Amino acid sequence: MNPQLHPQPPTDDAPARDLSELYRADSLHIRCFIYISFVLLALGGVFGTLQALDKMQVDLYRFLPGNLQLYYMGLTAHGVVLALLFTGTFIIGFLSLAVVHGLRRPLADRGLAWATLAVAVTGTVALLITIFRNQATVLFTFYAPLKAHPGFYAGLVLVALATWMAALNAWLTWRAWKREHPRERTPLMALAALCTWAMWFLASLGLAVALLVYLLPWSLGDKAQVNHLLTRALFWFTGHPLVYFWLLPAYLSWYTMLPAQVGGRLFSESLARLVFLLFVVLATPTGLHHMFVDPGVAHRFKVLHGIMTYAVIFPSLVTAFTVVASVEEGARRRGGRGYIMWLLALPWLSNPSVAGQLLAMLIFATGGITGLINSSLNMNLIVHNTLWVVGHLHTQVAGAVTLTFMAVSYWLVPLLSGRELWGRKWAVFQVWSWFFGIAIMARGMHWMGLASAPRRTFLTYAPYAERFGEWHWGGVLTAAGGVIMFVSGGVFLFIMLRTIFGRRLAEPVTVPEAQPLMEPGPMPRWLDRISPWFALGLALSTAAWLPSLWRMAAEYPTMPGFRLW
């Protein structure tokens, strides 16, 4: 047996028409996911803007009708809709396309794809109904013993199930491809998508246990008590790697698509593979850093997770080199010169899809640094549960991830809808304004957080807020950034709407796919197989989590439920 796998024989770039023929088979359900994600982005964004204004003590809630006046209900909607539903639906759609294009074959089971959509929509509707009827004002972290309506937990189960179904479909597609191509290595784009799903499957086991074994039976009345510290820990088992579930599709675009968009090539395919595989191993044994100041969690496991969180930064540092080097290669082919000035050869003002992703990377770098601070347990004592953490989270999700998704949409929606992108100049304005909006807002939040302002708090009516003069200007920046993002988000949705109902494309659009810079030679088998990495990740996660979880499950006191809203 040859231990080395050979690359796919170079396809003499299949004509665009053949590729659009390929996409057509799965285009409709992918389109449904992407369009639903846009609707969710609009819904969640409105509440975000109201919350940003609250930080400078402007209360717009009182002008709203009915339940919409409730700050914490809106806050729950904002978190659930954006952090779980917008990201989840966009990612399912985008990764499906990456698998289809990467393997050059339609999804293995189209019926399963439609069932995935049905389950995701049912879960989303259940969540929205319970939240907007004010039956689940428990925020997106739903810490027990706050007890929501069973429909809320059932909705979460369905949404999680939909992600597993999408993962299964990707895996089935890969298996069918592998049968046809036993001696070829999996193309990078498909491997990146499969790694994302493998990482997420491992990570989401915590959430599945929390919901199915504890929270859902408890909310249905089958169990009177809940082990609240255990379900909180299980939430963070999934809750931290959830960030990598958002991030890896953005990485997929930065590694395998963006270099082609700037006319460059991927600097190192082997390292790109290694990065995605490392996330499968390192993403999950980190989540206790969200519980650094919890009682009842042994100190040594807090230290262990803090150190593991440093380790998971390693693949991101590798990314910083490889992706920038790939982009630089493109810039030099476009005529860029010098050590730094090559940056000017990039289409900052002419290509919204490229500009948006480059700006997303800039924001992401700042979030990486604040993330290091959060995981340092000594410094965490200053910032834990303050608006600083909210600033960090928003640089990563609203900045790096959402801005990349918007930028990707500028070629993805024309591809799926067969319509021409409307208003390219507006799109350039949109990505820049979003970039400045998030930068200003995050600056305000970090500032307030360092001055001890609590997160997730209705500050307009907090009696102590007036004693902290230092919060004022941070609040003004937070609100200003939030309003800029509101406008920018509105422009994005308007562009999407005009595109979807716009002029037909003259020439079909295809997925940009970067070719490797170095001659793709044989590659060790361990860079082509996910299962050993998954096993390693499972072993590490078990070692890092099981002792704490076991003790909580066996010994810790339980509580009845409370509805305090």
Partner 1 sequence: MDIDRYERLWIFLSAAVLIGLMLALTYSIYGLDIRLIGDAGQVDPATVTQRPPFNQPGVYEEGPGRYRVVMVARAWSFQPAEVRVPAGADVTFQVTSLDVIHGFRVPYTTINQMIVPGQVSEIRYRFIEPGEHSLFCHEYCGVGHHVMEGRIIVEPAATPATAD
Q: How far apart are CA 486 and CA 48, in angstroms?
A: 8
Which CB sits closer to partner 1, 20 or 376? 376
For helices 299-333 and 269-282, the axis angle rounded to 10 degrees is: 160
515-526: burial string, b at 16+ Cβ within 10 Å, e else: ebbeebeebeee
Which CB sits closer to partner 1, 29 or 273? 273
* Rg over CA atoms, the chain: 23
Which CB sits closer to partner 1, 336 or 347? 336
| CA nearest to 424, candidates 355, 481, 362, 363 | 355
Q: How far is the CB of 377 from partner 1 (least distance, A)?
A: 5
| CA nearest to 415, candidates 514, 507, 352, 515 | 507
Which CB sits closer to partner 1, 139 or 407? 139
Q: How far apart are CA 532 and CA 545, in angstroms?
A: 20
Q: How far is the CB of 77 from partner 1 (least distance, A)?
A: 14
Which CB sits closer to partner 1, 149 or 228? 228
Six-digit token string for 537? 């990740």
Measuring CA to CA, how many Å separate 122 from each of 126, 152, 160, 322? 6, 11, 12, 40
Strand partners, 5: 523
* In the block, residue with structure tokens 């989270």: 393
Q: How far is the CB of 114 from partner 1 (least distance, A)?
A: 37
Q: How far is the CB of 306 from partner 1 (least distance, A)?
A: 6
Which CB sits closer to partner 1, 130 or 353? 130
Is-contact 503 420, C-beta < 8 A? yes
Is-contact 92 166, C-beta < 8 A? yes
Which CB sits closer to partner 1, 263 or 449? 449
Q: How far is the CB of 268 from partner 1 (least distance, A)?
A: 6
Is-contact 193 102, C-beta < 8 A? yes
Is-contact 202 534, C-beta < 8 A? yes
Alpha carbon 204 to its chain's center: 14
Residue 226 has φ and ψ, to the nearest 5°, of -130, 145
Q: How far is the CB of 238 from partner 1 (least distance, A)?
A: 18
Which CB sits closer to partner 1, 373 or 505? 373
Q: How far is the CB of 84 from partner 1 (least distance, A)?
A: 17
Measuring CA to CA, how many Å separate 229 from each of 216, 312, 551? 16, 25, 11
Q: How far is the CB of 374 from partner 1 (least distance, A)?
A: 12
Q: How far is the CB of 105 from partner 1 (least distance, A)?
A: 28
Q: How far apart are CA 188 and CA 267, in angstroms?
A: 13
Which CB sits closer to partner 1, 338 or 521? 521
